[in-house]
Structure 1
Amino acid sequence: MRRLICGFVRGVEKINRLVGRFAMYLIFAMLGVLLYSSISKTFFQPSIWTLESAQFLMVAYFLLGGAYSMQLDAHVRMDLIYSRWSPTTRALVDAFTVVLLIFYLVFLLYGGISSTQYALEYSETSYSAWSPYMAPIKIVMCIGIFLMLLQAIATFFKDVAAARGETL
């Protein structure tokens, strides 16, 4: 069982590392779109697609990079009493909070899948002048939430191992 869990953790972290590194470069695509938007508004006729494209890129950047951020432990933590606890207590508290995160992510993924199905079934578009299809960004949203869920499960396994004095 331990080998299976270790393999799961390694596999999830490898996938999230690859996806997270890809997501890091989406910021440059977003900056390019916003630069084009600024130039076109100043010198040419303004484009109707730039703002919404930048928003979609930001959503992809945020959601696809979330699991990688969790893997690196780069999220914000209130460190008022956490640093004073023993490593075992920290691991137990982290395991408990990760269970709550998993619960939240399951419901978030359920809602995301439902929303994506609706977007695909009815060819949902945005209510803007550009009116792009919403399904692609909703699919990216579901992938990001799913990767975050997998990373949360892997983090739970690592926290339980740390509470037992082991490492994965």
Structure 2
Amino acid sequence: MKLKDKSIVVTGASSGMGKSSVELLVKEGASVVAVARRTERLEQLAESLKMEACKVVIYQGDVSKRVDCEAMIDLAVDSFGKLGILVNNASLIDEMAPIAEASDEKFHQVMDVIVYGPMAAMRKAVQVFLEQGHGGNIINVSSVGAMHQAAGPIYAASKAALNAMSRNTAYMYKSAAT
């Protein structure tokens, strides 16, 4: 149980890497707030892990909304007494449309989920880490699409922005973690 007594928030938890992450984290002893928009999938995930020693709390939320990002962090603290790790995994693709065909609507949807959501969640998590008097960990899931032409332009730009925000946050708070 490598993660015993860890309190973790995972976004995008209803499928793919997010779901797999929650399953692994719980099996390693962590208590997890699993966040996604699809309640039925979150309920299935929680049901599948109910026999594990640790707790899974589900939160139906949209990471493109500040209020949901703050509420998921508050839920972890309220449920587990602390926050140790934030995993920003939620994502959205841009349909690989070339720039001449990219829509403003898709730009805002992707940027809100991949850039704004993690920023809002990180802002709240860092405040909690500072109040707790010790550091925490933030894991922002990115993609090779941030550096190569393996994705559409909006997705690539969003993941590059997420990488830059991650590096800056680590730099700005490096002394607080020691």
TM-score by length of 1: 0.32
Task: Choose 1 or 2 for highest CA Rg.
Answer: 1
- Structure scoring higher RCO (CA < 8 A, sep ≥ 6) equals 1
Greater helix share, 1 or 2?
Answer: 1
The structure where strand makes up a greater share of residues is 2
TM-score (normalizing by structure 2): 0.31
